[in-house]
Structure 1
Amino acid sequence: MVGIDLRNTQQTDGGQVRLHVRLIDALLAQRGHLIGWVPLFLACGIGWYFAIRFEPSWPFMMTVLAVSLLCTGCARIVHVSCSPILLALALIGAGAGLAKWRTESVAAPVLSFRYYGPIEGRVVGIDRSASDALRITLDEVFLNRLSPDRIPKKVRISIHGDMPAVPVRPGQRLATTGHLSPPSGPAEPGGFDFQRHAWFTQLGAVGYTRNPLLRLAPAERGGFGLLVFEARMAVSRAVQATLPGEAGAFAAAIMSGDRSGMSQVTLSNLRASNLAHLLAISGLHMGLLTGFVFAVLRTILVLIPGAGLRLPTKKIAAVGALIAAGGYLALSGGNVATERAFTMVAVMLVAILLGRPALTLRAVAMAAIIILILQPESLTGPGFQMSFSATTALVFVFKYLRHANWQHWPKWTRNVLSVVISSFIAGIATAPFAAAHFNQIAHYGLIANLLSVPLMGALIMPAAVLAACLAPFGLAWIGLFIMGLGLKWILWVANLVANQDGAVGHVISPQWFVLPILAAGLLWMVLWQGRAKIAGVLAAGLAFFIWSQATRPDILIADSGGMIGRMTEQGRALSKPRGDGFVTGVWLENDGAPITQEIAGARDGITRGLRRYQVDFGAWTVLQVSGKTALAEITGCDGADVLISNQSDEITRPCEVFDIERLRLTGALGLSLTDTGGLRVNAANAVTGPRPWTPQSDDNTIALSFVMDQNGPELAQID
């Protein structure tokens, strides 16, 4: 017989019992703080839905929701230490269900081909493109020879050439002749998916026109949304008429959300100095506005004899601030960032009405829950991530600083220190997300914010409120004049900081899973009660380490078939110095080296000929040709293993061919060598998967990623 040491068995059992008890104690210690975990697990479910490479069917989602309900029911009967785990699983399932429901609820037709012809529609949006062209969004669209069920709900047109002879006004019905195409996919595999963004805004086509705009009907009185849009644009025109120049355009952006007057130079300076957040109507503006209104109303009520004793002045001021916030939300156009800011402010003001602390992690969590329920797609955007990272970090840090003894410090130094700490914490919290989405770090951003943010609260936003109050009496110019002084200072600071040597640093794009790991680690550090907080620090450190090891595709191919980029020792070389400017800009930014296309187009590494560009890559040759004539001159594949063309190719060739028709289904391509010398071909639409917002084909293998060896391609979905 085999002898058994009962003492060791008892010790092992005792260790297991102690570990079990510790786990239960750790879970019980989270009681009273669980609300903060709700948006985290909702986000896990939403993130899973957008990360998977297939569209889950409704039977599948109903099964997930049924399991979630089962977990919710079981959470009421199991031990109190286990119920949070079951509720977490239920929230993950609920998050996935919310994302699926939102995707289906906003479904609208998307143009499936390139269109040229008459375009008619009603103006519901006015802004500017990255090339500084006036851009209009139309609804109630008419396209020639298309049935109503195939016409997109909204289209967006950039106006190139001379400015339109017809002043563009909200609600006008305009007509022109122009080009439209489906929303473009990612510029590279795993990149930003504009198709998905357009799906949730119901934008079914984008394009441009060089022809005059014709006004078919004057501005019409539409629904509430159109009336608000008309009011916004009227405010913007009035502000810019009173306060001309970039300061007036800045004031119009802050007061009405209309950025169409801002030049690209100013926008670039604001980004480089980390002051671009002052332009967007977000939490800072909403917080400053409501804080100012709250303070003014409460002061007025207190100054009324006896009112401070008989009336709940704090609650009355909160109601007034909430009304002001609602008006600001409507006037700003109600974009996602402003809706998010309003939700956060509203939660905090309601907390005051209920006699609860306003600035707590509980209030931040409630705001996040509301936004994720209403707009689950916002989770993947930089606005949601940066605003909540900043707010969470500020509330978390100031919760501990509140207990510090500052009484021996002079009051003015406490105010200055508060601003410095706030800017520093917000900057540190948002920096990783800004770097991941925009591939740049503003090195002097803290200095610029210290010189600008206090002015927003002390001068600019109060002056905006003053201008709004004096506008009915024709005296808005007084507030706008004061506002302009502060805005001119901010623009001066932005220009000064942006033009310093080394003002902006550039970073490589991280892998898709880096931000989820980083966010989970930081939230664990904030939410977990106990010494296990250190696990959050380790997770964040792991995310940064993985980011530091990120690599870029060796070869990138645009979905137009007209551009190829190869990574060399000097950086990415481009086949041409012009063309596909937006795509090449994204490539270079994601490389962490946003040089000009002209410089990249002159680098070695690509053999350039007349409309013919060749890359010799290991044992492989990639050949890209532009135009019908160049394609017709190709015999077979001319020794190439992969042939790229921006034309339709109906010839059967002895190599892997990606013509324009196939590229429309695969999207952009990324090529790299495998460890065995094979060629890995990764398609953007294979990374995205067959989702409602991606092009669909009868042959699903056409959009698959695969690995090629000397025996030919081996189709395989690449994870």
Structure 2
Amino acid sequence: MVRYLLDLPQALLGGQRGHLFAWTPVLLACGIGIYFSLTWEPPVWMLWTALLAVVFVPAQALIGPQPVLGPLVVALSLISGGFGLAGLRAHQVAGPVLHFRYYGPIEGRVVNIDRSASDAVRLTLDQVVLQDMDPARVPVRVRVSLHGGPNISPQPGMVVILTGHLGPPGGAVEPGGFDFRRHAWFLRLGAVGYTRTPVLMLEPQGSGLTVFRARMSLSARVQDQLPGETGAFAAAVMSGDRSGMAQGTLSTLRDTNLAHLLAISGLHMGLLAGFAFASLRIGLLLVPRCRHYWPVKKLAAVGALGAAAGYLALSGGNVATERAFIMVAAALTALMLDRRALSLRSVAMAALIVLVFMPEALLGPGFQMSFAATVALVAAFEQVTTAQRGHRLPGWVSAVLSVIISSAVAGAATAPVGMAHFNQASVYGLLANLVSVPVMGALVVPFGVVAVLLMPLGLEWAPLWGMGLGLDWILLVAQHVAQWEGAVRPVVAPGTGVLVIIATGGLILCLWRGWGRLAGVLPLLLGMLLWNGAARPEILISDTGTLVGVMTAQGRGLSRETGSGFIADNWLENDGFGGDQMRAAARWPGAVQSRLAEASVFGRQILHVQGKRAARQISGCEAGKIVVSSVPLSLEGDCMIFDPERLKRTGSIAFWKTENGLEMVTASDVSGDRLWHDIPKKRAVDDGALRRARIDQ
């Protein structure tokens, strides 16, 4: 028995020989995940030491053919390397962060244009100048939403000036939620805000930002020919510019699981490269001399690679597009070398390149959904190809089956990621994709390529008209499907680690060779079981003190009907109940009057004070009472007070139901003291009670 257990690792790994490379990005991702899960910041010497461990990857070959020791050394080295890469990247992008509320003139160069969740045009500025501030303390980049007017039409590279409000990037709306501070840190965003005054031009477009200017120029030209949402959709597909799309359209596409058609990812890159490859190959074959003397197939692959590289540049280069380009480049290079074009090795290579240069991408839904879909599709079609050996199907049957299988597999692989990040499931997403994806491949992308080629001649109107027909169809499908009853189902946020467990099961199913891959079903089932039993906090307090949420039998009740809408929407989505803020306010289990909201949970009184006038009505409070205020508050008594001053240190707060009563967890407990969480060091005397307090029944 002992001998069997000792030989088991060798037997398991022996069957995977030649297929272990696909696990390298998984191991690197494990190290990256460990770094981001810490609640303390590792010293730089530790990060460099961890990164240097990667040298053991090639060095392990020197120890000879060890079937167990060799892979183990490589695995530990990759995990260590991922840890070091993530930490050093966090230090590399470090920049000043605004630590106070600023109001005044803001000057900067436009480096990005998009839209906010409130559908306002939003500018990202660099070379920022703020009044009466030391340049060394001014953020590298700031992002400002434009709520005023009339405004100039901002252009890439234009230096603008405006009067606006700025503040530090906000933290998680609840402990363990999406951490915008961390996200902003890696974008080098040191402040975010808004303006209600016009934006003025100080200097026209200067030198630099050539690609950004080309993208926006292409977007403007497309939208001149195709007005409305169709033109905005076409601009997003061709240039990656979504600033023209209304939030309603984006929401409809998300509700029908068609939002991936907006992202320039594997589908678009593959269709473009395939169209360019086929067109070049056919064109060269029509010339007798080329057909007989030139390597037509390889030349077409070179041309298609150039077209894909140009598309990558115009798209803005997000994670999904970079992954897609690397995949296409690997496939076309394989064609040039007469090798197999598509395999899990090329997927692993793409993931490695992305993670090495942008380790933080691992945490984003774009990376997770993109690679989940790609790995699942490659693995599935490997099995389909094996099963079809010796059994040829008619061409049209094979094409239909390919569309159905690819849509079903990609949908199943990305569904857990989408539900975890966006808290909703599209019930009819598969059907919507089945009638939309073929149109994207047959009309939208080919006509888009022809339109770009004809733009120098001013003849792009004709192919753009054909492209518009395809996009109109997709928008029509999205609008109709979204209106079907039960088209979207809200999903409760999963507990900590649930998505990792599900991903582990999926990777085993896709990457492991032999019958052992069926072991991946167990983590999948475990993850689904844990997700189904996910609990939610009994009480939630926003980090500004402007909103309180209490769980009731009917769902979460909110202390306000309006205000703090972003926080309210996130809480309700994470609860898996859906609905809007006004309906949630009607569920508040207590009285609301004179901007004072009271409720009782587990025998404890909660009081939410909204504004200075309401605060003046409170003079004292008894022990055990929880008082939340949107303004600074000083009361006599032993109650727990959460006002903006204290909440600035703790972040948002959640109270969980336990056997002993209510347990408090703060956002700072979960996030810890990291580079992107510059928590003030000065503590109040009673802050010890706020670290991880337990309120007994």
2:670 alignment partner in structure 1: 687
1:430 alignment partner in structure 2: 414
1:87 alignment partner in structure 2: 74
The one-letter code of the counterpart of 2:542 is A
Contact 1:71 1:89 in 2 (8 A): no
Contact 1:75 1:86 in 2 (8 A): no
Contact 1:439 1:589 in 2 (8 A): yes
Contact 1:154 1:203 in 2 (8 A): yes
SS in 2 for 1:402: helix
1:714 alignment partner in structure 2: none
Pair 1:275-2:258 in alignment: yes
Contact 1:665 1:702 in 2 (8 A): no
**Residue 132 of structure 2, aligned match among 145, 160, 176:** 145
2:103 alignment partner in structure 1: 116
Pair 1:214-2:197 in alignment: no
Contact 1:507 1:592 in 2 (8 A): yes
Larger CA deviation: 618-627 vs 181-190: 618-627
1:42 alignment partner in structure 2: 28
The one-letter code of the counterpart of 2:537 is P
Structure 1 segment 183-202 matched on structure 2, within 5 A? 183-202=169-188
Pair 1:452-2:440 in alignment: no
Pair 1:303-2:252 in alignment: no
1:550 alignment partner in structure 2: 534
Q: 1:620 Cα shift?
A: 1.8
1:4 alignment partner in structure 2: none
SS in 2 for 1:113: coil
Structure 1 segment 641-656 matched on structure 2, within 5 A? 641-649=625-633, 653-656=637-640
Q: Deviations over 1:431-454 (max 9, x none)?
A: 111111111111111111011101
Q: 1:238 Cα shift?
A: 1.0
* Counterpart-to-counterpart distance in 2, 1:309 and 1:637: 92
Larger CA deviation: 588-597 vs 70-79: 70-79
* Counterpart-to-counterpart distance in 1, 2:466 and 2:161: 41
Any stretches of 5+ residues in structure 2 without a counterpart? none
Q: 1:70 Cα shift?
A: 5.7
Structure 1 segment 467-616 matched on structure 2, within 5 A? 467-616=451-600
Q: 1:351 Cα shift?
A: 2.4
SS in 1 for 2:41: coil
1:628 alignment partner in structure 2: 612
Larger CA deviation: 409-418 vs 119-128: 409-418
* Counterpart-to-counterpart distance in 1, 2:261 and 2:102: 38
The one-letter code of the counterpart of 1:619 is G
Q: Deviations over 1:476-530 (max 9, x none)?
A: 0011000000000000000010000011111100012011111111111222223
Structure 1 segment 10-159 matched on structure 2, within 5 A? 15-65=1-51, 69=55, 73=59, 76-77=62-63, 79-159=66-146
Contact 1:574 1:606 in 2 (8 A): no
Q: 1:386 Cα shift?
A: 0.7
Q: 1:652 Cα shift?
A: 6.3
* Counterpart-to-counterpart distance in 2, 1:652 and 1:56: 41
Tell me how large the CA RMSD over aligned residues is. Answer: 1.9
SS in 1 for 2:693: strand
Larger CA deviation: 349-358 vs 682-691: 349-358
Contact 1:49 1:99 in 2 (8 A): yes
Q: Deviations over 1:99-138 (max 9, x none)?
A: 0111011111111111111111111111111111111111
- TM (norm. structure 2) is 0.96
Contact 1:665 1:695 in 2 (8 A): no
Contact 2:148 2:198 in 1 (8 A): no
Larger CA deviation: 635-644 vs 93-102: 635-644
Going from structure 1 to structure 2, the CA distance change for 1:66 and 1:255 (only over 3 Å counts) comes to: closer
Q: 1:702 Cα shift?
A: 6.5
Going from structure 1 to structure 2, the CA distance change for 1:228 and 1:190 (only over 3 Å counts) comes to: same
SS in 1 for 2:436: helix
The one-letter code of the counterpart of 1:204 is G
Going from structure 1 to structure 2, the CA distance change for 1:710 and 1:436 (only over 3 Å counts) comes to: closer
Q: 1:653 Cα shift?
A: 4.5
Any stretches of 5+ residues in structure 1 without a counterpart? 1-14, 712-719
* Counterpart-to-counterpart distance in 2, 1:406 and 1:489: 38
Q: 1:384 Cα shift?
A: 0.7
Larger CA deviation: 638-647 vs 659-668: 638-647
Going from structure 1 to structure 2, the CA distance change for 1:327 and 1:62 (only over 3 Å counts) comes to: closer
Q: 1:354 Cα shift?
A: 2.9
- TM (norm. structure 1) is 0.93
1:382 alignment partner in structure 2: 365
SS in 1 for 2:450: helix
Q: Deviations over 1:669-701 (max 9, x none)?
A: 111232112x21111121011111113221576
Pair 1:675-2:659 in alignment: yes
* Counterpart-to-counterpart distance in 2, 1:478 and 1:635: 73
* Counterpart-to-counterpart distance in 1, 2:218 and 2:582: 41
Q: 1:531 Cα shift?
A: 2.9
Contact 2:53 2:81 in 1 (8 A): no
Contact 2:173 2:543 in 1 (8 A): yes
1:360 alignment partner in structure 2: 343
2:307 alignment partner in structure 1: 324
* Counterpart-to-counterpart distance in 1, 2:495 and 2:202: 49
Q: Deviations over 1:66-106 (max 9, x none)?
A: 55556864564263322101110110000001101110111
1:619 alignment partner in structure 2: 603
Going from structure 1 to structure 2, the CA distance change for 1:75 and 1:564 (only over 3 Å counts) comes to: farther
SS in 2 for 1:168: coil
How many residues were matched structurally?
692
Q: 1:639 Cα shift?
A: 6.0
Larger CA deviation: 330-339 vs 405-414: 405-414
Contact 1:76 1:83 in 2 (8 A): no
SS in 1 for 2:161: strand
